[in-house]
Amino acid sequence: MNQSGAPRKAERLVAVKGMNDILPPESARWEALEACVRTLMRRYAYESIRTPIVEPTALFVRGLGEVTDIVEKEMYSFEDRLNGEHLTLRPENTAGLVRAVVEHNLLYNGGKRLFYIGPMFRHERPQRGRYRQFYQIGAEALGFAGPEIDAELILMAHSLWKILGIQGVQLQINNLGQPDERKLHRAALIDYFEKNADALDTDSLRRLHLNPLRLLDSKNPQMQALIEAAPRLMDFQGEKSRAHLDAVLAILGANGVDSVINPRLVRGMDYYNLTVFEFVTTDLGSQGTICGGGRYDYLVEEVGGKAAPAVGWAIGMERVLELLKAQPAFAPVQAPDVFAIVTDMAFLPRVCVVLEQLRSIGVAVQLHASGDGAMASMKSQFKKADASGARNALVFGADEMAHDSVTLKHLRDATVAQRTLPLAQWAQWAESLQSAA
């Protein structure tokens, strides 16, 4: 209360910048995408895993690399007020997944194929396709060294685009080779960028000796020409590394999956080796990467496990859903099958028993909600029924109740005559109310 005795209007609280509410009917599109993904994962024999959203900060610093954009600038890190632990909202889920795999010894009898769907957190400048809380779909195969698993993952992402009807996605691939090859390349890179030091921005100057590969990942447009002409990792690779990528490309080629080699593709985390790839579209403005991944054969060991090879990718859900907006077929219908119209509050106990029976066999039912102790007029209830998108209305009026029946009215086709149905025989007519879905 303020001084005049009137209730004070509470200050409106709003969501954190860059973090979105996903509201209906949009939320139904999210679930439809998730359902597609779960079906796809099953086809490729990937099992679901759910790891915590909060992890020890050290996991990301060690796993992703200290001199990376994510660790240097983008992590939501904090100290637990109660015990002083250093914690971080996961900026990605590969490190957490690997931690879980090691902690629970999931590789004890061979490899493991896993997937996850969930929110990630990065303190970036919010813009179209770039948020501070965003969702990733990720797939990771651990314990497998062969190129066929890199290819399997790429084929899986490719088939997701096909299932969703997303076209015009380009697959870019690079080969990061192995650590010893990287060392040679690193020396050449430092040499090259030192010679061009006056063209580097402050971030790049600082990183030059710490992590020169990161310079190749710079988004600074002024540096792109310089980056284009930088020494290429591929030129430092031995036969074995080359053979790995060639084998991946052969499988992709046999499956009609086109790719382009992008020698500048290095990705944002330090954990990658050999194959790295991104699926890129020009339909989303500057946030055009919808999937990124690669091999990370040294991360399991880095996180404290017994050395095991691994490969995976992550898809940005918001970006994929943005692409799907142009896709009328991908607008799932969430309307109930039936809207229940009730003319008197006194009928509600009986009506609700009937509605529960219908729901028990799978009919989607929306009950008209009363206001202030009374049901609204029939007219207004029919308006609501119409707006709900339901195909049918079930009318529970005084006549119907007196005869232990209900009136079924088709809401979308005026030529269908209304019918009176006996409540006692609900099992005989209820199924016909269910939509085909």
Q: Between residues 131 and 426, which has the closer beta carbon with respect to ligand ATP?
A: 131
At closest approach, how far in Å is the CB of 116 from ligand ATP?
A: 13
C-alpha 103/C-alpha 399 separation (Å) is 66
Stretch that binds ligand ATP, among 79-87, 176-184, 221-229, 290-298 (CB under 6 A): 290-298
| Site map 130..149 versus ligand ATP, x via CB under 6 A | xx--x-x-------------
Q: Is 171 in the site for ligand ATP (CB under 6 A)?
A: no
Instruction: With H, G, I as helix, E, B as strand and everything else as coil, classify residue 366.
Output: strand
Provide DSSP, 229-296.
Answer: TSPPGGGG--HHHHHHHHHHHHHHHHTT---EE-TT---SSTT-EEEEEEEEESTTTT--EEEEEEE-
CB nearest ligand ATP: which residue? Answer: 316
List the interface residues with ligand ATP, window 71-110 (CB under 6 A): 92
C-alpha 261/C-alpha 174 separation (Å) is 6
At closest approach, how far in Å is the CB of 255 from ligand ATP?
A: 22
C-alpha 321/C-alpha 54 separation (Å) is 26
Give burial (CB, 10 Å; 0-12/13-18/19+) of 149. Answer: buried
Instruction: With H, G, I as helix, E, B as strand and everything else as coil, classify residue 37.
Output: helix
At closest approach, how far in Å is the CB of 293 from ligand ATP?
A: 7
Q: Is 283 in the site for ligand ATP (CB under 6 A)?
A: no
At closest approach, how far in Å is the CB of 332 from ligand ATP?
A: 22
Stretch that binds ligand ATP, among 76-84, 123-131, 185-193, 233-241 (CB under 6 A): 123-131
Q: Between residues 320 and 408, which has the closer beta carbon with respect to ligand ATP?
A: 320
Stretch that binds ligand ATP, among 43-51, 78-86, 311-319, 409-417 (CB under 6 A): 311-319
By DSSP bridging, strand 392-396 and strand 405-410 are antiparallel
The residues pairing with 280 across neighbouring beta strands, listed in sequence order, are: 170, 289
Question: Which residues of the shown chain bind ligand ATP in the complex (CB under 6 A)?
Answer: 92, 122, 124, 129-131, 134, 136, 267-268, 287, 289-292, 314, 316, 318-319
